[in-house]
Structure 1
Amino acid sequence: MGEVKKLKTREEISSECKWDIEKVYATNEAWEKDFEILKKKAEKIKDFSGKLSQPTVLLDYFKVKEDISRLADKLFIFAHLKSDEDRANSTYQSLKDKIDTYLAELRSLGAFFVPEILSLPEDYIEKSIAEVKDLEMYKFLLEDILKMKPHVLSKELEELVASVSDCLEAPGNIFSMLTNADMTFPIIKDESGNDIELTEGNYSGFVRSKDRSVREAAFKALFSAYDKFKNTIATSLTSSIKNNVFIAKTRKYSSALESSLKPNNIPLEVYDNAINTINSNIESLHRYVRIKKKLLGLEEIHMYDLYVPVIDIEKENIEFKKGVEIVKEGLHPLGKEYLSIFDEGIKEGWIDVYENKGKRGGAYSWGCYDTMPYVLLNYNNDLNDVSTLAHEMGHSIHSYYSRKTQPYIYADYELFCAEVASTTNEALLIHYLINRETQKSKKLYLINQELEQIRTTVFRQLMFAEFEKITHESIEKGNPLTAKDLCSIWHELNVKYFGPDMIVDEEIDMEWARIPHFYSDFYVYQYATGYAAASAFAKSILEQGNEAVNKYIGFLKSGGSDYPINILKKAGVDMTTPAPLEATLQRFNELLDMLEQ
C-alpha cells in the first residue's frame, strides 16, 4: 500500500503561489483599527435622515456614503478572503463574522434613504440636477430607485429588513461551513493504487479518470459523504428558499423569481425562454450521451462516465506557469492592452493558486473598488484548471476595466453580465486550442472539451435553473420539501435531461446538496445566458477583429452604468431573443457532427 498523500497546510504553500492580500491590510491590527474607524464614520449617515429634500445635502449624503461603503468593502474583502484561505482558522472566521454582523447594522443605518427619496415629488430629481450639476452622475441610480417604488417599504420596515439581513444569510453560511470545514471525504485509490484523501478539489480529476473503477469509486465516495448530511443540507437549502420567498412577499413581488430579476430590469421571459429553449433542444444532449456511450465502448453509460473524455489521450501535466502562457496565447485576439492587464494580475499577486488544507473549494474572482481583483483557484495541473484560470481572469479583468472606468456607484456589474467576460475567455481559449492542434486524437479530445463546456455551462446550469424554479414554486404554494423530495426532483430532471441511454445512478440524487450557487437565488441560469452572449462576442472578435474587440472592451468598461440587457444590446448582443442560445446549441450540434466523423 502506498503512502497516503495529504493536502499541504497553508504554511507549506510558497508565498509566490498565494494572493497578496496583505496589500489590503498588512496586519490584523490594521484591520481592527479601520473597523473602529468605520463604526465611527457610519454614525454620520443618520444625520442625513429627513434632510434629503435639499439637493446640496443629497450630494453630501452620496459622498459620505461612498466613503463609508468603500471602507466597509475593504474590511469585508480582507476578512472573507483570509477566511477562505483556511476555513478552520478561527482568527479569520472571527473577523469575517464581525464584519458580516456589523454590515447588517450598517445597512439598517442607511435604510431611510430609499423610502425618503420615494416620498419626494416626482420632479424632484430633475429639479435637483438643474440646481446642483454634480448630482447628474447619480441620475441613473435615482431613476432606478423610482422604478422600484411599488416594492419599497416604509422607513421602519426597511430598517427591520436590513437589520435581519445577516440572519437571512445564515443558511448559506451554515452550508459553507459544513461542506468546506466540517465534512470529510473517504480515502480512495488512484490509478496507481495509492490511497488518496478525496476532496472537492481533487474530485474533478478522479471523475475524469480513464480508469472506470477510479471514477466510480470517487463518485460513490463523494455522494455517500453528502448523503450522511442530507437532512441537514435539505433544511439549510429549504430555509434559504423560504428566505427568498419571504423577501419577495414582503416587497410585494408576485414571486421569488420576479423579486430576483425585476430589480435588474430583466424580463421574466428571459428565464422561462432559456428553460423552454433547452427543453426544446434536449434531444441534442441525448444524442451526445449516445455518441459518448459508443465512443467509450460501454454497454451501459452511468452518471460517473459523463466527465471522462471520449478520446483516450495521455494526461498532460500542465504546471501553472505553462498554463498562464497557454491562456495568454488563447486570449491574443483581445489585443495588447488586455494581455498587459493579464500580466499585471499574474505579477502583482492577484491569484491564490493551489489547494491547501481547509481552503475553500472551487474558484472565484472577488475584490472591491479599492483592492485588486483577487482570484481563488485550486489548481491541479490539468487542462480544466487552465480553462478555470482563463475564466476567473475574465471576471477579474472585467472588474479591472469597470473599476478603472466607472465611478464607485456604477463600478459593479450585475449578475446577468457577470459570466459573460469569463466565458468569452473560455470560448477564445478552446477555439485557439482546437485550431492549433494537428494531432487528430488531441483535436477530437479538444472538440469534446468544447462540447463539455456547452453541456456543463448551458444544459447543466439550465437544469439547475429548472430545479430552482420547481423548488421555489413548491414552497411558494405552501408545499414543504424534505431531503427525499429534493432527491426525487433531482432524479427526474436527470432522467429528462440525459435521456434513455443514461443509467441515472441513485447517488446522483444527492447532487443538489453540493451546489453552493443554490444559496444565491436564481443565479445559475445566468451561466447559460452568459455563455450564449460570450459565444456571440467570441465569434465576432475572431471574425471581425479590432472593431469587435473595441465593442467588447466597451462592454467590459460599462460596469453597472445601465441595465444588463441594455449594456449587452449596445455591444451587439440581444438577450431578449432566444437567438444567442439557439446559436450556441447549433454549435453544439456542429461539434457532435465533428465527433461522429
Structure 2
Amino acid sequence: MSIQQLPSRDKLSESLTWDLTTIFKNDAAFEAAYQSVQAQLPMLEKPDQPFTTASQLLMTIKQTLAIFRQLETVYVYASMKNDQDTTNATYQGYQAKVDALAAEVSAAAAFLEPAILAIPVAQLTDWLTKTPDLADYSHFIRTITDSRAHVLSGHEEALLAAAGDIFGAASQTFSVLDNSDLQFPDVTDETGQTLQLSDGVYSQLLQSTDRTVRQQAFTALYTTYDQFKNTFATTLATEIKGHNYLAQVHHYNSARQAALAPKAIPESVYTTLVDQVNQHLPLLHRYTELRKKQLKLSELHMFDLYTPLLGKPALTYTYEQAQATAKKALAILGPDYAQQVTHIFNNRLIDVCENQGKRSGAYSGGAYDTNPFILLNWQDDLNNLYTLVHETGHSVHSALTRQNQKYVYGDYPIFVAEIASTTNENLLTEYLLQTQTDPKVQAYLLNYYLDGFKGTVFRQTQFAEFEHAMHEAAADGQPLTAAFMSKQYAAINARYYGPAVVNDSQIALEWARIPHFYMNYYVYQYATGFAAATTLAKGITMKQPGALTHYLDYLKAGSSAYPIDIMQQAGVDMTSAAYLKRAFTVFEERLNQLETLLTKLN
C-alpha cells in the first residue's frame, strides 16, 4: 500500500496559498527594502546632547518609528516565506538576515528610552502640553516613563539589544528542530492508510474513534521526542535563563514581572487566573469522569481525551464550507466586520494547506503596511473551522486597528489579541448550537465546546503553571534537565486531569513540543482571553445595549492605551476574578446540558 506523503510546496494549488507579492513583488524587491533599512541605521545614532526642544524629540521619535515600520514589513515577508517551507535554504537565510537586522535596529534605537528618561519630568510635561504633534505620542512616552526604574543607560541597553538574535537563538533552534529536522515515523489510520506523521496528522488521529489508532499516534509522536529530549531540555533551559537574566539586569523581581510590566498588567491577573482554575479543577475532573463513563473505558488515557464522545464526528467541513459557515456565524458583528472577513477570504490572504516543511499550527500575521495574513494547516474537521474563525478574529482586529490608529499605536499586545480571536470562537459556538437541531449534533457541539474550554482555559493555565515553576527553579539554581522538567510536568498534569485519567509516562515529555514556552509568559493570555471573550460574546449575542459598539471600539483601539484600561472600556474588568467565575459558570451549564443529553441518547 502506498504511503500518503505531504505534498511539496510547488504542488499546491496557487489559490490555496497566500499571495506575498502584495508585500514585495519578488525577492529582489525584498532585498532592496532590506538594504534600505540597513542604510538608514546611522540616522539613529545617539545625539551628543540631551534633548533640548520638543521639536527635536518629536523628530527623533518619528525617525525611529519610521525605521521600525520598514523593518516590520521586511521581517514579516522573510518570516512568512520561511514558515511556508522551513526546509528552503534561501528563506532560512532570509529569516536569519532579518533576525540579525532586527537586533541591529533595536541596538541603534536603544538610546531613545534612556534619552527620554533623561528629560526632567516638568520639562517633558510642558512639552506634551504645548506641542500638539508631540502629544499624539503621549501614551507611547508614558509607556517609557512608567518603566523608569527598569531602563538602563543608553550604552547598556544598546549592548543588550545588539544581542537580541543571541537571546533568540534557543527559540530559533527549537523551531528548526521541531519543524524541519524531526523525522516522525509512518502510522496507520482507521482505514488502514499509512500516513506520514506530522503535527497536523497527529491532531487528527487523536480524534479517531479507533483507540488503537489514537494510542499508536500518541506513542509514535512521543517516542520521537524522547530521542531528542536532552536537546529540547537544553534549548528550553537556555531560553528560560535568558528571560531570567534580562529580568535581573533590568531590576525586576522575576521574569514574570518583567514580562507583564511593559503593558502594565498586574501580576495579580496571572495569580488570580491560576487560583481560580485550581479552585475549579473539580469541574474538569467531573468532565473526565463523564468521558471515561461515556467511552466505556476501564482506564482513560491521555490519548483518549480528544476523541468525540459520541463516536465519529457528526460535522465535517471542507475549507469552502468552513468559510461559508464562518461568515454566517460572524454576521452578528455587523456589515463592516463582515466586509473585513470577505476581504480576507477572497484575496489570497490565507495559506491553507499543510505541505512538507511548513510550520505547524496556525497564526495571523502581517505588518502595519501589509494585509493581515493567516497561516493554516487545513484538515476537514470542526476544529479547523474553529481555527479559521479564531485566526480571522486576529486578522480583523489587525485590520481595524491599522485603519483607525497611527503606526505608533497600530499594533496590540497579545493580552487583548486573544480576546478578539476567542470572542469569535464563542460566537461560532452560539451560532452552531442555535442552528443544529439534531440532539446528537448538539451533544457533539457541547462536547466540542467543553474540549475547547479544557484546552484553552484549563490546559493553557496548566502550561502557565509549569512555565512559571521552571523560571523559578532556574532562578533558584536548579538545573533544568529533561528528567527534572518531565517530573514536574507529569505532577502538574496529574493534578489537573484528576484520578479518572491515567498519567501516561509519555505525557511527561509534552513540554518538549510546546513552542509557546519560548514566548516568555505568553500562554496564560489564552486563558484570560477566553474567559473575557465569554463575557463579551454573551453581551453581543443577547444584544445588550452598547455591547457591539464597545466591542468594535476595542478592536479599533490598538495600543492607544494600556490593555487593562482598553478592556475596562469594553466592559470587562480583568483585575477581578468575576469574569473568570462567569466563564466557569458557562462551562458548568454546558456540562450539565451535555450530561442531560447523553442520558437521553444512551
TM-score (ref. length: structure 2): 0.98
Is there any run of 5+ residues in structure 1 with no aligned partner, and where? none
Match of 2:296? 297
Aligned to 2:205: 206
- Residue in 2 aligned with 1:145? 144
Paired amino acid for 1:248: A
Distance 1:243-1:314 versus aligned 2 partners, 3 A rule: closer
C-alpha contact 1:50 1:116 (8 A) present in aligned 2: no
Give the aligned partner of residue 392 of structure 1. 391
The residue that corresponds to 2:457 in the other structure is: 458
Query: Equivalents in 1 of 2:523, 2:58: separation in Å?
Result: 37
Does 2:402 align with 1:410? no
Give the match for residue 479 of structure 1.
478
Moved more, 254-263 or 49-58: 49-58
2:412 & 2:571 partners in 1: Cα distance?
18
CA offsets per residue over residues 179-235 of structure 1, 9 Å max, x none?
001001110111111111110111111000000000110011111111110000000
Paired position in structure 2 for 1:549: 548
| Equivalent position of 1:44 in the other structure | 43
CA distance in 1, matches of 2:149, 2:62: 27
Q: Distance in 2 between matches of 1:314 and 1:167?
A: 46
User: Partner of 1:8: helix, strand, or coil?
Assistant: coil
Q: What are the equivalent positions in structure 2 for 1:260-279 lying under 5 Å apart?
A: 260-279=259-278
1:14 matches 2:16: no
User: Do the aligned partners of 2:314 and 2:441 also contact (CA within 8 Å) in 1?
Assistant: no
Q: Gapped runs of 5+ residues in structure 2?
A: 597-602
CA distance in 1, matches of 2:518, 2:313: 38
Query: Whole-Å Cα distance in 2 between the matches of residues 434 and 218 of structure 1?
Result: 31
Counterpart in the other structure of 2:228 = 229
Counterpart residue type for residue 64 of structure 1: Q
Aligned to 2:70: 71
Quote how far apart the aligned CAs of 1:547 are. 2.3
Residue aligned with 1:544, SS: coil
Once the two structures are TM-superposed, the CA of residue 534 in structure 1 deviates from its matched residue by: 0.5
After superposition, what is the alpha-carbon deviation per residue over 1:564-588, rounded to whole angstroms, capped at 9, x for unaligned? Answer: 1100001100000111111111111
Letter in 1 for 2:278: N
Query: Whole-Å Cα distance in 1 between the matches of residues 351 and 12 of structure 2?
Result: 10
Instruction: Tell me the residue number matched to 1:350.
Output: 349
Please tell me whether the aligned partners of residues 313 and 441 of structure 1 are also in contact (alpha carbons under 8 angstroms). Answer: no
The residue matched to 1:591 in structure 2 has which SS?
helix
Paired position in structure 2 for 1:124: 123
Contact map agreement 2:208 2:312 (CA 8 A) in 1: no
In structure 1, the partner of 2:98 is 99
> What residue identity is the alignment partner of 1:319?
T
Partner of 2:505: 506
Contact 1:8 1:357 in 2 (8 A): yes
How far off is 1:307 after superposition? 0.5
Which whole-Å CA distance do the structure 2 matches of 1:147 and 1:132 have between them? 21
Q: How does 1:320-331 map to 2 (within 5 A)?
A: 320-331=319-330
Name 2:561's counterpart in structure 1.
Answer: 562
The aligned counterpart of 2:468 is 469
Whether the 8 Å CA contact 1:293–1:299 is kept in 2: the answer is: yes
- Say yes or no: does 1:90 pair with 2:86: no
1:159 has 2:158 as partner? yes
Query: Distance between the aligned counterparts of 1:181 and 1:506, measured in 2?
Result: 26
Secondary structure of 2:432's partner? helix
Determine the structure 2 residue equivalent to 1:523. 522
Asked if structure 1 preserves the Cα contact closer than 8 Å seen for 2:68 and 2:105, the reply is no
Counterpart AA for 2:339: S
Task: Output the aligned Cα RMSD.
Answer: 1.1
Correspondence for 1:252: 251
TM-score between the two structures when normalised by the length of structure 1:
0.98
Q: Give me the whole-angstrom Cα distance separating, in 2, the residues matched to 1:283 and 1:381.
A: 33
Q: Secondary structure at the match of 1:123?
A: helix
Contact 1:313 1:445 in 2 (8 A): no
Once residues 46 and 438 of structure 2 are traced to their aligned partners in structure 1, the CA distance between those partners, rounded to angstroms, is: 69
SS in 2 for 1:418: helix
Q: Secondary structure at the match of 1:575?
A: coil
Residue 188 (1) aligns with residue 187 (2): yes
Is the 2:535–2:572 Cα contact (8 Å) retained in structure 1? Answer: yes
Show CA shifts across 1:493-538 (max 9, x none): 1110011111011011110111000000110000000001100110
CA contact (8 A) 1:49 1:113 kept: no
Mapped to 1, the partners of 2:411 and 2:528 lie a distance apart of 19
Hey, what's the Cα distance between the residues in 1 that align with 2:429 and 2:503? 29
Question: For residues 248 and 171 of structure 2, what CA distance do their matches in structure 1 show?
Answer: 20
Separation (CA, whole Å) in 1 of partners of 2:66 and 2:468: 39
Aligned to 1:594: 593
Letter in structure 2 aligned against 1:396: S
Q: Which residue does the alignment assign to 2:599?
A: none
How far is the alpha carbon of 1:123 from its aligned partner? Answer: 1.2
Task: Give the fraction of aligned pairs with identical amino acids, expressed as a percent.
Answer: 39
**Which secondary structure does the structure 1 equivalent of 2:377 belong to?**
coil
| C-alpha contact (below 8 Å) 1:125/1:139 kept by paired residues | no
